[in-house]
Chains A and B, each alone.
Chain A
Amino acid sequence: MVRLLRLGTLHGPMQQPWRYKYLEALYQRRLEAGPEQPRFRSAFTNWNYEAELYACTHRFGENIHTDVLRRALTDASFMKQVVEQRAEAGLDQVERSMLPVSDNEELARRGEEIASHYIKQVLRYWYPKFPEEGIEAVTAFLLSETTVAYISERLGFKTIIRCDTPVPRPATMKNALMAFIGAINESSDQQRAEAFTADFILTHLVGKDINEIWHISNPMGLLSKILEANGRQPAESRLIWATGVSSVLSTYVVGVYSGKEFLGKNYGNTIALAEEMAARDALRRYFETSEERAPIPFDKLKHMNFTSRLKP
């Protein structure tokens, strides 16, 4: 804007025409060059991997040995790349495979085992009536590649992972975080690894509804099964209210009852929809996972003993 306004004046870009043309040319060349290619963070001058590893252990208040942490942050793709480079350099088979560090596959597997076990324990403890299938689904969501890669990126692992691409793949990001949990387990103990899981992975549930994470395809069928198993009367849907039946904004309220006992109710634009939603509401009430349920007490998890109230 300023440039346009001052174009014909003494103070504008035409004051020094050669400079104006020179900068224009530079600008055009920059546009032609296109966007900058992503680079490894380690390619920059201000990079000291030892210092980064030291900072990484202290960031989370963990006491991990540097060698274990180095192993946890080394991806399989990096090792593969090193072997290829050695082959190109003309080293023989024995020298190629003699590497000072191994990759993080083993640690990642152990870390995922611990995290999965712990998350299931907490969910079973806090939602004792929630079925096992649902707990499996929520655990799978929390340990999915998308979720864990997001958490891993936001915890600063993106730059300190050693892998073959400047921008790590989601699978690499996930492996690094899981291997970090494994490394805590190896250096300290399992309690600390579990506390890390609680603080960074389980807190991803904040603001999310676990009923939506576990999608039930046929809620009425499940409700009937549960009632049958408990020896109660079969579920029966009854229309409670209806408004604007002949209009576009029709609303039906359907309640689900077992005999004279109220199970749940919900709204819908059609009766079928309202019935399905009512069945979902009944299930929520039965599982005790409705919206007004207190959230998981993240600050008290480390003092809890889950083994005493475990399901058989």
Chain B
Amino acid sequence: MNVLIISIRSSTISQLLKPSCISSSLLSLRQWHNFEEITPAKYVKSNLQNGLGRYVCQLQRLTIKFCKEFRTSFGVRDYIEHDLVTFAKKYPMVAIYLQPRRHRTPTLTAEYLNGCEQNLKITSCSRQQVNWWVHYLLTQQGDSTVRYLKQMHSDSPSTQGIWTPYTNKPLDRILRTYPDDELREIEDPDYLYPSATKQIQQLFDKQQQQEDEEKHV
């Protein structure tokens, strides 16, 4: 995160502008240039190459907090009554806890294998909506969802190899006799077969030389 730095050379003004005296207009000065600088971002990464060997459900334990009386928990109570046992049988890898809390909003607390925890308030959700949210948590990895970065990747690196100063250079240069026209051609492409521009320049130079010689003569 960026830190607001205010440098004022004059001593009198700097005494006035102590941190407690900084006006809100100064605090709101933007020190960053684009939104991406200050928003959290990360690369897409699964927990321990999950799915490479075998798939492991990342949801470790699920705590359903609900109220036995309030209307806001009616869907949660319905879900617990009708669907929870089926869910627990279908997904035995999740440890499920029920916590009745009097007169509070119902909450889903999910703890994941990587140590993260997610809390979800499900106030006034119907039975079906609760089911949706539970499955949402079940299929998560548990880490916070932030802006994802691209990670360029290639399973097969370039066949030709990356470019170096020595790419496409002749390998038999030790065996040649110097001066070698072909090597010279690599250094200076106009050497053996000059381009049209170069030819005109050469003609012009030759003409100039001739004129000079004629003058001297």
Residues on A facing B (Cβ under 8 Å): 1, 4-5, 45-48, 51-52, 54-55, 58-61, 151, 153-156, 158-159, 195, 198-200, 202-204, 206, 240-241, 243, 251, 253, 267, 291-292, 298-299
Find out whether the CB atom of B113 lies under 8 angstroms from the CB atom of A292: no
Query: Interface on chain B toward A: helix, strand, loop, or mixed SS?
Result: loop
**Contact for B53 among A153, A198, A267, CB less than 8 A:** A198
Find out whether the CB atom of A59 lies under 8 angstroms from the CB atom of B54: no
**Contact for A1 among B27, B49, B157, CB less than 8 A:** B27
Select from chain A the residue with minimum beta-carbon distance to B91.
Answer: A58
Complex CA gap A52/B94 in Å reads 8
Select from chain B the residue with minimum beta-carbon distance to A158.
Answer: B115
Find out whether the CB atom of B53 lies under 8 angstroms from the CB atom of A200: yes
19 contacts between A and B (CB under 8 A): A1-B27, A47-B97, A48-B97, A54-B92, A60-B56, A61-B54, A151-B48, A153-B115, A154-B47, A154-B114, A195-B54, A198-B53, A199-B52, A199-B54, A202-B53, A206-B49, A251-B165, A267-B164, A291-B157
**Which 7 pairs show the lowest CB-CB distances between chains A and B?**
A199-B53, A46-B97, A58-B92, A59-B93, A156-B113, A55-B95, A203-B49
B83 CB → nearest A CB, Å: 18
Residues on B facing A (Cβ under 8 Å): 24, 27-28, 47-49, 52-54, 56-57, 60-61, 63, 92-97, 99, 113-115, 156-157, 164-166, 169
Complex CA gap A243/B49 in Å reads 42
Complex CA gap A298/B48 in Å reads 14
Residue among A155, A195, A202, A243 having the largest count of chain B Cβ atoms under 10 Å: A155
Find out whether the CB atom of B95 lies under 8 angstroms from the CB atom of A52: yes
Complex CA gap A306/B48 in Å reads 25
Complex CA gap A218/B166 in Å reads 28
Complex CA gap A155/B157 in Å reads 32
**Residues in A whose Cβ lies below 8 Å from that of B97:** 46-48
**Residues in B whose Cβ lies below 8 Å from that of A158:** 115
A155 CB → nearest B CB, Å: 6
Complex CA gap A46/B53 in Å reads 32
